[in-house]
Structure 1
């Protein structure tokens, strides 16, 4: 995707260029919105026609990213928002009616993932409100957005855009929706945007007494443990978390959404506490007496390891609605993860005697973590290096881990077995280098996440791993990657079944083969303008990965189809 040159004062240029388009010097509603988005630093607008915002943005040199499906457009925005930690605007626009209807799944996914996506769908012309069967965004998206409103007067657009973006940048990250009626976007108004002020980000702190109680509880604990959530990534607090864990000598595990918030090559890292997880998570969670959950909503989910009821649980979150929501907490604190970590660090350093007393424990802890991790890897290495045909999915995991540089790679996976087989082993070493998800798990989301990651980080190698069911949901949008110059590597594991579903429908499977699938996927990639190849033998896998990565490095999206066998044995759920 070509990005046009812009001058240093993007805001002034946006207003001047947009005004030049209107013959009478006034601005149309769409031009007002586009000018504000440019002032706010939006680099591209994602969506599917028809939306007046696509044309108004193009007038002021903001390029569109046009997808094949509306859901994938939202997925791209989510990937972009999460990789940039919400510091850059991720904006999606679609047409009213079918466009909005088709976007619902993507917005619901972003809501569960707490991704700050700005959704600006068009709406039916004013006067058609509450007319059945019209699908109005403001009425139907309230339960999957943080703020959901509709504009009714063109002169209110600057105020409403300020409100939307302010909510996007503050409090709990979440999608924000402003519905824009098509007649309002076409209406002209003598707007003066020179007085528009960009909303700032606020970073609330905790009270001194709360900080004292948090730190004192951790210092008194025999075996404290930190659970880091996505709020650490959103607050860009990974360095502060690492420093705090080192000072107090506390091991750290992450939630699936928080994976990469703590460097997983660090001596105090336990890995990710997902449904499938490394043995380090189970070992240290079992012995923990105090668990500090920071930047986590502590949501119970089938895909997230539950916290046993015998733990003293402390919670730090930006959203007051999270406190004690699913677990009883001994102390719940509302605050920005980075701000509160700095407060706790400063408070802990006041007690030098206690810190010095913890140093021997820290060294012993690092040795214990290393020992448990080494034994875990010893038990699973036969799976990771298996020469089975069809290939073991774990062999694919191992080859990917050895083929990419984790310092410059962003990886994601799709729901189900790809997540459960990849997440326990892959070590994410930099913040934002892994897009994990573990609350709602819509098949196919990983493709859009990967494109959004590449859009945010053109210098990164981006890899997503999918099953064939997931690819079937969104596969045609591989063409979006080729057309929009978003070279990513998509790996499709093909085992010709819906992995794991035979257990939930045994009769339908036995009598009718309800879990069966068929197809070839590398030819689809080639037909859509990318590089595609298929691997069936273990010895072919590493060279094929390298070829695909070379194509990605040269600017061409690639798809590697790997023929695997169904593998139901998962770390943490099966004793290797």
Structure 2
């Protein structure tokens, strides 16, 4: 199966369909499923993801849209999220699942995507009309309402074009989030004369702020003694990294990112502070403590256990595409509803056109460099440790040495893999890191990696996870093999639920409740991939290079690394 990547420039908007363009290409025997597939074809959809059954699979295949069949509905949604975020939402990520148990099993994935603000078109089939509300039938359009941006069911086949238009319009505009359109199976089989209906592709509209608001925002930043930019995923969604770099250099202002926004600002840039996650580099703590004004750009400013909180004494300026974010979790001095790139361009233009003076705040670059050097000096013994079992930080270090960050997309799973990886890995290219920091469901990283590879087949894609996470989704490693999505997965095995003993000390002491067992490299081989287990730190780099070579040759690979449990985390010890 071949999948072509199509990374579009952020300025490209969906064009209107030609007036004569109709859905009559399939002839007079067109049914509801054909209507949906025809619209997906016009929208340039490259694949339809799902499990285990949907009338849309055949209808789409008839129009040369291949299916990506996973092993679970949840991973299907995770793949769609990875695809949507890697393409910055410029390409439709479409998921379909079977009504009833399929939709029920997809719930966790959609909840994750909602928290990650991933624009996914979710098209579950539904029970036949008239029986959807009969207990215990699971009605998706009722039950998913609080974890989607828009959630409706089709009741008449002739309404399909306008409802698909409504769904895709909401995907392309405003805050990114999943949208759901439930498709009853009897409606999908119902015939429709398509000759009278014209489907027009929705445009993408980019909001921007009032010039006076921008001038006020800039004035506050220029008056600040130690401002900091806190950049979120909205920078990536708006393809605004270039503008953010120009803005930071113009004002000589340091930039940190949210976990979801990691890679939105190049982390090898002299003004980069790193990622403000639960675990983080010392540069983040130093400059957020010192800051008097924080510009939160393209972030929801959501309070989370996995995101560094902002102290009450900071003046908060907030730029977001969603008005519902303003004042949601933090009191803000000024809030602006705008696309991140539009706001950056307006601020840059304001500063240049008004010839505003940039205050001298000292040698900020040297200050950042000095703090980062001290941080790395402290943690280098962990990163280069020769202990057996292997230190998880040694795994992080060897990944950093083995891959080219300009040609690689990395992600990680929840828990310790995230907290040990994120503070050290330098994401230098926009979209080269799929981070997450709100709902953190174990196992999601595997699907994210598969979706990233689906979006960018030329990239090397690496996923770091623990054994508990692999236990939840590991069989979908076979999806990578069957669907020709060669990724590298690293599984750190220490035979425990890392960090969980502290939350259940009695159960752990009396019954070993945090213990796990098993080996994972043999599973990868049994599923048709390359598998290798490493127990010595000296063997780790050669094993990674062998696995990367296999990936380059088109074979999915898994390296199992026997590690020790490591409770020490940057910023938390």
The CA deviation string for residues 370-427 of structure 1, in whole angstroms up to 9 with x for no partner, is: 1100110000000000000000000000000000000000000000000000000000
1:115, CA displacement in angstroms? 0.1
Tell me the distance in 2 between the aligned counterparts of 1:280 and 1:482: 40
1:192, CA displacement in angstroms? 3.1
Other-structure match for 1:313 = 316
The CA deviation string for residues 447-492 of structure 1, in whole angstroms up to 9 with x for no partner, is: 0000000000000000000000000000000000000000000000
CA contact (8 A) 1:18 1:59 kept: no
1:16, CA displacement in angstroms? 5.8
Tell me the distance in 2 between the aligned counterparts of 1:516 and 1:161: 48
In the TM superposition, what are the counterparts of 1:83-482 in structure 2 within 5 Å? Answer: 83-192=86-195, 195-355=198-358, 357-358=359-360, 361=361, 364-482=363-481
Other-structure match for 1:27 = 30
1:352, CA displacement in angstroms? 2.8
TM-score by length of 1: 0.96
1:130, CA displacement in angstroms? 1.5
The CA deviation string for residues 25-59 of structure 1, in whole angstroms up to 9 with x for no partner, is: 23100000000001011000000132000000000
> Which segments of structure 1 move beyond 4 Å, counting only runs of 4 or more?
10-17
The CA deviation string for residues 88-115 of structure 1, in whole angstroms up to 9 with x for no partner, is: 0000000100000000000000000000
Structure 1 unaligned residues grouped into runs of 5+: 5-9, 20-24
Tell me the distance in 2 between the aligned counterparts of 1:268 and 1:145: 36
The CA deviation string for residues 125-183 of structure 1, in whole angstroms up to 9 with x for no partner, is: 01113100000000100000000000000000000000000000000000000000000
The CA deviation string for residues 331-363 of structure 1, in whole angstroms up to 9 with x for no partner, is: 0110111111101110111343513x44xx36x
- Say which of 68, 73, 85 aligns to 2:71: 68
Other-structure match for 1:7 = none
Count of residue pairs brought into register by the alignment: 561
Other-structure match for 1:524 = 523
Other-structure match for 1:22 = none
Other-structure match for 2:26 = 18
Other-structure match for 1:567 = 566
CA 1:279–1:129: 2 relative to 1, 3 Å? same
CA contact (8 A) 1:255 1:272 kept: yes
Structure 2 unaligned residues grouped into runs of 5+: 5-16
Tell me the distance in 2 between the aligned counterparts of 1:13 and 1:296: 39
Tell me the distance in 2 between the aligned counterparts of 1:302 and 1:190: 53
CA 1:391–1:3: 2 relative to 1, 3 Å? closer
Tell me the distance in 1 between the aligned counterparts of 2:141 and 2:505: 42
CA contact (8 A) 2:132 2:138 kept: no
Tell me the distance in 2 between the aligned counterparts of 1:193 and 1:82: 36
CA 1:388–1:536: 2 relative to 1, 3 Å? same
Tell me the distance in 1 between the aligned counterparts of 2:218 and 2:52: 53
Question: What SS class does the counterpart of residue 464 from structure 1 fall into?
Answer: strand
Tell me the distance in 2 between the aligned counterparts of 1:310 and 1:519: 49
Tell me the distance in 2 between the aligned counterparts of 1:386 and 1:76: 34
Tell me the distance in 1 between the aligned counterparts of 2:507 and 2:449: 34
Tell me the distance in 1 between the aligned counterparts of 2:22 and 2:229: 46
Tell me the distance in 1 between the aligned counterparts of 2:500 and 2:307: 19
Other-structure match for 2:512 = 513
Tell me the distance in 1 between the aligned counterparts of 2:335 and 2:475: 45
Other-structure match for 2:11 = none
CA contact (8 A) 1:276 1:570 kept: yes
The CA deviation string for residues 466-525 of structure 1, in whole angstroms up to 9 with x for no partner, is: 000000000000000000000000000000000000000000000000000000000000
Other-structure match for 2:12 = none
Tell me the distance in 1 between the aligned counterparts of 2:373 and 2:132: 62
CA contact (8 A) 1:275 1:302 kept: yes
Tell me the distance in 1 between the aligned counterparts of 2:196 and 2:178: 25
Question: What SS class does the counterpart of residue 352 from structure 1 fall into?
Answer: coil
Tell me the distance in 2 between the aligned counterparts of 1:84 and 1:275: 26
1:228, CA displacement in angstroms? 0.2
Tell me the distance in 1 between the aligned counterparts of 2:157 and 2:31: 8
Question: What SS class does the counterpart of residue 195 from structure 2 fall into?
Answer: coil
CA contact (8 A) 2:48 2:94 kept: yes
CA contact (8 A) 1:3 1:63 kept: no
The Cα RMSD (Å) is 1.5
CA contact (8 A) 1:119 1:178 kept: yes
Question: What SS class does the counterpart of residue 357 from structure 2 fall into?
Answer: helix
1:14, CA displacement in angstroms? 9.6
The CA deviation string for residues 209-232 of structure 1, in whole angstroms up to 9 with x for no partner, is: 110110000000000000000011
CA contact (8 A) 2:157 2:187 kept: yes
